Structure 1
Amino acid sequence: MDLPASSASLWEEAARHRPWRQPLGPLAAPVAPERRTALDLFLDADPEAAALAYFDGRLSYRALQTQARQLAAYWAKAGVQAGDRVALVLQNTPAFALGVLATWMLGGIVVPINPMYKAAELGRLFDDCSPAALLCHDDHWGVAQGVAQGHMPLSCMLWSSPREGQTQDDARVLPPMPAVSAPAGQSLAGLLDSAATPAAPVQGRSRSPDDVAVLLYTSGTTGAPKGAMLTHANLVLNARTTARHFGLHAGSRLYGLAPLFHVTGFELHLVCAFAVSAQLVLAYRFQPAVVLDAFITHRPTFIIGAITAFIALMNQPAATPTHFESFDALYSGGAPIAPAVVQAFEARFGRSIRSTYGMTELCAPSHLSPPEGEIPVDPASGALSIGMPTSAVDVIVIDEMGRPLGPREPGELLVRGPAVMAGYWNKPTETAEALAGGWMHTGDIGFVDEAGWFYLVDRKKDMICASGFKVWPREVEDVLYAHPGVLEAAVVGAPDAYRGETVVAFVSARGGQQLDPDALLRHCRDRLAAYKCPTAVHVLDALPKTETGKITRVTLARALRQV
């Protein structure tokens, strides 16, 4: 996309005025650039430090490196080369970390994929990135192997059981043993048990930090999924920046709340742990009761994940302040956070959830709240601040004509810096549009106040136009979250012959309470302008979510349009 020279110069001028740097104090200082890869972070970790905890299983950094070398040697013998893509179709298990490290040891590119995907979904991603190797779970082997066979020989495909590496066998979250015998092909456990498997040379040390380390596919809710190319330099810089901000160190224990196949889990769990020789605690996937038990067993010190996960934990009757007392910090990002949720969590557990903002293309967070102190709420919109930009990025706000905006003027957030992706895999047109002028166009609408705090209004595509008035779903959702009986809320626009669009809300109830739609409508009318109030409220047992816990408005909007 070509931009007028005037726009580019205006953006440069706007980027020079950064009032948020001073309030962050020492954390505002940039992390010194270094020419290391993400594999270097792991290899430089203390080999005797605890690397992974998986239920009652443990792996040190030394043991993890030994096993990763064995897997790398196997794939190298099967023909995997530098630059090849390796698909990891796995939940949060030690196999995921092994697959990542082995791929990097060979100079390859990791492609994490949601293990809930069916054959058609896997096929679209495999056709796009043409992986040369595969590691998946045994109960997904039939689907994944069937898709992969058109891209790689059977010798490059391995399977792993999520029951390996532990003896706890928690039936609340781990899948049962497959009804059929073990899949054909090579198992990861069998490979690691083989004394004949030689250690692989660590080629990743000679790879350039500018090489692509991981392809993270966006959700694709508005079109075909796009593979965001994150380089080793992206991963290293943002891991070191965020680890410093979160206060992580060699004694930290990070709980893997987010899926490792998502940017939050990949960067802020896995790579951050490598960056400081910390321990990462895994439990296959999110299950609230299992998570609470793990908090007591492992005493984690840091956690970050979707706000819906915190809501689910808060909705557990057995949850107490004791479950959260080991944490030095609790952060949430990926979606706007209703102030009422933060207040309710702090009132019950005595701990504050700190806000963040980021996206896959930004290598996780571009904005973070300070570790301590009050996070402001904008009095006009009721939005909780998403924090201030990290030292790794510049941020500006522009209007629809591309002109920079001043304080409290909402517009699209543009971000640039060394943490921003290299582009989308095999999509030059989409890359040029997203990175026009050297800035990542986020598609999110927000604003900055006079002190440098940023606020997110909503996604540009989610804006509702009712009788010519702009309605941002997040503002209405925040009001619904303030109702004591509402657990989760989502607001979408529905076609309307007279207004063009009308506001419709979907909610789920907290703790078995009964919600009266009419009462919720009255609750909104008392707190919002008439054009912002829902014309209907639908009570559901649960709201639809992505694999990372984000409520999917698009699913609800699509259902309304089909009625």
Structure 2
Amino acid sequence: MYAARPWLRLFPEGTPADISVEYATALDVFDASVAAGADDPFLWYFDGVLTFGQVDAAADALASALVADGFSAGDRLAIYVQNNPAFVIGLVAAWKAGGIAVLINPMNQQRELRYMLTDSGAVVLLTLDDLYLSVAEPVIASGDTAVRTVITCSPLDFQTRDDERLFAGATRKAVPGTVDLVELIAAHDGSAPPAPAFGPQDTASLTYTSGTTGEPKGAMNTHGNLAFNAQVYRDWTGLATGEPILGVAPLFHITGLVGHIMFAMIAHTPLVLMHRFAPDVAVDAIREHRPVFTVAAITAYNALSTATGATPEDFASLRILYSGGAPISPAVGDRMEKIFGTYIHNIYGLTETNSPSHGVPFGVRAPVDEASGALSVGVPVFNTVVRVVGEDGNDVPAGEVGEFVTSGPQVVPGYWNKPDKTAESLPGGALKTGDVGFMDADGWFYIVDRKKDMINASGYKVWPREVEDVLYTHPAVREAAVIGVPDEYRGETVKAYVSLRDGVSVETAELVEFCKSQMAAYKYPRQVVIVDELPKTVTGKILRRSLRDGN
């Protein structure tokens, strides 16, 4: 059933199910792009421009400084930075020095930062000056981590615009006990470290899982993983050399790492960075740089669509749009298409699959399953096999629900220093995703929900995603999240949280009746709560766990 790959008919004639891997390591991808045109723009950051050659030289200098400071092959450099050029320079420098980049969410506070630095054993920390002063300094001073060198940077580096909407009152700060990134690069300008000795199987980065289902785990993204999925993005979307990428997703997240940085490298194309996502700032960047591609959570598209003064012409350059990180309701997808004038294609993957394991082929519209109302997340990408298995671990027939189990060159070998978790989630090298769904007879895959989010109401299974999709069809609903809560009679019952579209009001009883009219009696929510905003990860994924914890 899986080997037949019936979805190949969706592609132009002659498109292979498998592709030949072009680059062995992530650094090979970068080096090839430098060789293709060192003077071509790589990073656009407000009014600043860094070419591929300038990033190469800056990374060489930083890597030389690291090696001179005792950084050795396999050592970890933690990057605690927003979507700034410093992030990319630090990433490439870690590889040039033979090390591993540890990618840390800049929204993390002291407890979370301490955990990741301790878990990874990072010996160097690259961080924004204000983050160091407000969060990191006590963690480093405590002596709980292995960090011996702190390198600080400023959001004002590499540009002069100082956009007031992001940097109001910002100044470059002198931070005692740390080394300034720009000064360090200047001091080692013209230096280059010895060529590192690593291969595709070696770890390039530790990208921490979001922790939505427990303690964050450091997924070991190998050089081969990153190089392969960079190639998947390029070949899947057809983005041409020189067509800019809009960096909406956070770079510390696997979508930003692969779908922005690695993709820009392999396509030899500019990446537009904006420090952090703000809809009005993003629209300005679109107007100025006319990006062609982006991949982002649907919540980011939702925010862009309501940016002050945005017009359809502003979005006209965005020809290739993909959404990942959170499911798209068909109703929301249709609404976004009217606003952007372009169909938003689904793409699906996990931190452990280095972004895509599935995608909707560019130019093809994903089907909607008639029974569940779910929009397909696509078909397996090149060189990838996805099984749908039942509780017994055996494959289930097409149309039957089971857990996705993914195998391919993009699947990580394991979690950093967590052999038990690796054995549990990656038995035999195949990833048990925890996502539940089905494959139809044509090879399209549909996600029903996370396995751990299933609600058991009077012995009936209720998948939150199905209830949420119904709520999204109500004209007043902007976002929805559904959880199970204890119920004396049913064991569990369905509770919904919704936020409303601007300028619209609705009674909760109306929403209950709306769902009741469209769903089986055991599925519709008995309780609805209207909130201003739903809790989300920084990438826009709604946190059902936070809602459950509050009940």
TM-score range, shorter chain: over 0.9
- Code of the aligned partner of 1:146: P
- Unpaired runs of 5+ residues, structure 2, are none
Task: State the 1:27 CA deviation.
Answer: 4.3
Distance 2:542 2:497 in 1: 11
* Larger deviation, residues 206-215 vs 132-141: 206-215
Which one of the candidate residues 165, 181, 188 is aligned to 1:188? 181
- The equivalent of 1:30 in structure 2 is 18
Task: State the 1:81 CA deviation.
Answer: 0.9
- The equivalent of 2:427 in structure 1 is 436
Q: Deviations over 1:323-357 (max 9, x none)?
A: 22102200001121100011111123321110111
Which one of the candidate residues 512, 515, 523 is aligned to 1:524? 515
Q: CA, structure 1 residues 315+411, in 2 after alignment: closer, same or farther (shift >3 Å)?
A: same
Task: State the 1:180 CA deviation.
Answer: 7.2
Task: State the 1:183 CA deviation.
Answer: 4.5
- The equivalent of 2:241 in structure 1 is 250
1:174 and 1:284 in contact (8 A); partners too: no
- The equivalent of 1:42 in structure 2 is 30
Once the two structures are superposed, the pairs formed by residues 332-351 of structure 1 within 5 Å of their partners are: 332-351=323-342
2:118 and 2:146 in contact (8 A); partners too: no
- Code of the aligned partner of 1:22: R
Distance 2:400 2:550 in 1: 33
- The equivalent of 1:215 in structure 2 is 206
Which one of the candidate residues 199, 218, 222 is aligned to 2:191? 199
* Larger deviation, residues 227-236 vs 523-532: 523-532
Distance 1:510 1:96 in 2: 35
1:86 and 1:109 in contact (8 A); partners too: yes
Q: CA, structure 1 residues 58+450, in 2 after alignment: closer, same or farther (shift >3 Å)?
A: same
Once the two structures are superposed, the pairs formed by residues 320-399 of structure 1 within 5 Å of their partners are: 320-399=311-390
Once the two structures are superposed, the pairs formed by residues 462-501 of structure 1 within 5 Å of their partners are: 462-501=453-492
Task: Report whether the alignment pairs 1:84 with 2:75.
Answer: yes
* Larger deviation, residues 106-115 vs 32-41: 32-41
Which one of the candidate residues 168, 172, 186 is aligned to 2:165? 172
What is the SS of the residue equivalent to 1:214?
strand
Task: Report whether the alignment pairs 1:404 with 2:395.
Answer: yes
Which one of the candidate residues 161, 175, 179 is aligned to 2:154? 161
Distance 2:539 2:211 in 1: 13
Distance 1:175 1:528 in 2: 49
- Code of the aligned partner of 1:284: H
Distance 1:54 1:317 in 2: 21
Q: CA, structure 1 residues 400+165, in 2 after alignment: closer, same or farther (shift >3 Å)?
A: same
Q: Deviations over 1:182-223 (max 9, x none)?
A: 4542111222333x545122523x321211101101012222
What is the SS of the residue equivalent to 1:66?
helix
- Code of the aligned partner of 2:466: E
Q: CA, structure 1 residues 250+346, in 2 after alignment: closer, same or farther (shift >3 Å)?
A: same
Which one of the candidate residues 438, 449, 472 is aligned to 1:458? 449
- The equivalent of 1:19 in structure 2 is 6
Identity of aligned residues (%): 46
TM-score, reference length from structure 2? 0.96
Which one of the candidate residues 89, 108, 115 is aligned to 1:124? 115
Q: CA, structure 1 residues 296+116, in 2 after alignment: closer, same or farther (shift >3 Å)?
A: same
Q: CA, structure 1 residues 272+511, in 2 after alignment: closer, same or farther (shift >3 Å)?
A: same
What is the SS of the residue equivalent to 2:271?
strand
What is the SS of the residue equivalent to 2:435?
strand
2:478 and 2:501 in contact (8 A); partners too: yes
Which one of the candidate residues 271, 289, 293 is aligned to 1:280? 271
Task: State the 1:400 CA deviation.
Answer: 0.7
